[in-house]
């Protein structure tokens, strides 16, 4: 009996050593392959903008009065938003004034010359009219020939034409003098309150931006302010062309990242052409503009404004009852996708075929069945046939 005690103790020590050096199961996280709804979406930064923005411009050139409206003020259709009056005359320097005064003096002299020429023509007309009257009286008495009579009538008509020409010349010289004097006239003879042209709002809405606020001289077409209806917002998103080809009109979307609750939206239009944009990394990308229409309640996006940054998530594909696997259980085995499947507390390498996928789950087309359990985020300790101990199950 005394000999058995040491033997049993020795066997216990040997068993403890053997157990200590045996490979222990690797603790792993597992997930179950199950049928789930799967949605594939693209997420990109976008911008909120008012659908119709109207730029109010100056219709005439002149002096724009200071704009009293500010961004956010409401205006009605047809309401005056700006006034333009005549511009102040240009001041002349000494040299320009001397030239203008010389021009005015020359115009005054030309007018005096034209007046004298008119007086000369009128005197000539009086003489020729008297000669013609005498010729008519003598011709009726057959005291002069037909030729002398015709010459007298011709001279009278020529004198009348000379008077008309002199009158027209005088009118031209008077206008030239008035033009030359207008250059020298510095005072403003207009009444600003009666001669200003009102610029009317083409639509009702709010003032988005005041582009020209201070009083200044403007040219026709100068932008003054921008108007728009804040209740008619849309979202503009520039997607990569490879993502835009999968977006269809009417697809569901969600607008987030603007500081408020998520807003429901739908794809209204996908523009047919792409533009080249350079990313922050200096890579040239082909971007396609996608327009989203907000479908949520207007109260849910009341704080969203023109030009605000948003995050748009657009659904590309969705289906219920899809056999899915967590993305964290996938890895590459050569050119194929693979995962580790739990069978009798040991892992087995399983190659699978995938379909659609998002950032969380992927669609399993072949290689797995519902109820299978796979290893999440396998480490370098996991290999074919290794014993594992599930640490927890997740979905």
Q: By three-state DSSP, how is residue 37 classified?
A: strand
Mean pLDDT value across residues 262-282: 91
- In this structure, are 222 and 254 located in the same domain? no
What is the CB-side half-sphere exposure of residue 286 using CA atoms within 13 A? Answer: 9
- In this structure, are 104 and 139 located in the same domain? yes
Whole-model pTM above 0.75? no
The Cα 74–Cα 214 span in angstroms is 20
**What are φ and ψ of residue 376, in 5° steps?**
-90, 135
Given a cut of 80, whether residue 194 has pLDDT beyond it is no
| Domain count of the fold of the chain | 4
- In this structure, are 221 and 253 located in the same domain? no
- In this structure, are 70 and 127 located in the same domain? no
Given a cut of 50, whether residue 395 has pLDDT beyond it is no
Chain mean pLDDT for the chain: 85
- In this structure, are 313 and 327 located in the same domain? no
CATH of the domain at 210: 2.40.50.100
Question: How does residue 189 score in pLDDT terms, banded at 50, 70 and 90?
Answer: very low
Pair 121, 159: CB distance under 8 Å: yes
Specify the pLDDT at position 102.
86
Pair 92, 165: CB distance under 8 Å: no
- In this structure, are 364 and 315 located in the same domain? no
Nearest to 290 by CA among 251, 253, 244: 244
Pair 40, 316: CB distance under 8 Å: yes
Whether residue 359 lies inside any domain: the answer is: yes
The Cα 118–Cα 78 span in angstroms is 55
Q: Would you state the structure tokens that stand for residue 233, as one six-digit string?
A: 């917002």
Which tens digit of pLDDT belongs to each residue from 57-97? Answer: 998 888 889 999 998 899 999 899 998 888 766 666 778 77
Whether residue 13 lies inside any domain: the answer is: no
Nearest to 44 by CA among 263, 254, 306: 254
Whether residue 5 lies inside any domain: the answer is: no
Q: Would you state the structure tokens that stand for residue 353, as one six-digit string?
A: 């075929």
CATH of the domain at 337: 2.40.420.20
Specify the pLDDT at position 151.
85
Specify the pLDDT at position 213.
86
Domain interval for residue 58: 54-88+203-228
Whether residue 155 lies inside any domain: the answer is: yes
CATH of the domain at 275: 2.40.30.170
The Cα 185–Cα 180 span in angstroms is 9
Given a cut of 60, whether residue 187 has pLDDT beyond it is no
DSSP 8-state secondary structure symbol assigned to residue 42: E
Whether residue 6 lies inside any domain: the answer is: no
CA distance to 71, 287, 304, per residue, from 308 (Å):
15, 20, 7
- In this structure, are 306 and 351 located in the same domain? no
Whether residue 2 lies inside any domain: the answer is: no
Q: Would you state the structure tokens that stand for residue 27, as one six-digit string?
A: 């603790």
Which tens digit of pLDDT belongs to each residue from 289-344? Answer: 999 999 978 888 888 888 899 999 999 998 999 999 999 889 998 888 999 998 88
- Interior CA angle at 92 toward 66 and 63, to 5°? 15
Which tens digit of pLDDT belongs to each residue from 204-250? Answer: 888 999 998 888 888 998 999 999 988 889 999 999 999 999 999 99
CA distance to 325, 348, 372, per residue, from 34 (Å):
7, 19, 8
Mean pLDDT value across residues 139-148: 84
Question: How does residue 190 score in pLDDT terms, banded at 50, 70 and 90?
Answer: very low
Mean pLDDT value across residues 51-61: 89
Pair 26, 387: CB distance under 8 Å: yes
- In this structure, are 271 and 311 located in the same domain? yes
The Cα 325–Cα 25 span in angstroms is 24
């Amino acid at each position: 009996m005394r000999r058995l005690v040491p033997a049993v103790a020795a066997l216990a020590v040997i068993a403890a050593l053997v157990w200590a050096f045996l490979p222990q199961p690797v603790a792993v996280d597992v997930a179950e392959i199950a049928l789930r709804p799967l949605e594939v979406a693209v997420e990109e930064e976008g911008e909120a903008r008012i659908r119709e923005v109207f730029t109010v411009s100056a219709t005439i050139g002149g002096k724009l009065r200071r704009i009293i409206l500010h961004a956010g003020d409401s205006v009605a259709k047809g309401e005056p938003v700006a006034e333009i009056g005549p511009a102040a005359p240009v001041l002349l320097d000494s040299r320009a004034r001397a030239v203008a005064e010389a021009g005015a003096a020359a115009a005054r002299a030309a007018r005096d010359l034209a007046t004298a020429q008119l007086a000369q023509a009128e005197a000539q007309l009086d003489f020729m009219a008297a000669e013609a009257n005498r010729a008519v009286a003598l011709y009726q008495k057959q005291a002069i020939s037909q030729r002398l009579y015709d010459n007298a009538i011709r001279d009278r008509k020529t004198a009348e034409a000379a008077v008309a020409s002199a009158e027209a010349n005088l009118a031209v010289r008077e206008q030239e003098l008035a033009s030359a004097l207008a250059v020298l006239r510095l005072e403003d003879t207009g009444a600003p309150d009666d001669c200003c042209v009102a610029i009317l709002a083409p639509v009702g809405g709010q003032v988005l931006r005041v582009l020209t606020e201070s009083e200044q001289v403007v040219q026709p077409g100068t932008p003054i302010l921008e108007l728009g209806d804040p209740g008619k917002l849309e979202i503009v998103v520039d997607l990569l062309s490879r993502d835009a080809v999968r977006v269809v009109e009417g697809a569901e979307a969600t607008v987030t990242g603007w500081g408020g609750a998520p807003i429901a939206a739908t794809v209204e239009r996908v523009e047919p052409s792409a533009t080249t944009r350079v990313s922050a990394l200096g890579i040239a990308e082909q971007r396609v503009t996608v327009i989203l229409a907000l479908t949520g309640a207007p109260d849910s996006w009341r704080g969203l404004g023109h030009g605000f940054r948003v995050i748009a998530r657009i659904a590309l594909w969705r289906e219920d009852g899809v056999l899915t696997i967590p993305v964290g259980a996938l890895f590459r085995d050569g050119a194929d996708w693979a995962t580790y499947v739990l069978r009798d507390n040991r892992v087995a390498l399983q190659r699978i075929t995938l379909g659609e996928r998002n950032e969380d789950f992927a669609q399993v087309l072949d290689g797995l069945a519902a109820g299978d359990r796979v290893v999440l985020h396998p480490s370098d300790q996991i290999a074919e046939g290794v014993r594992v101990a599930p640490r927890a199950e997740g979905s």
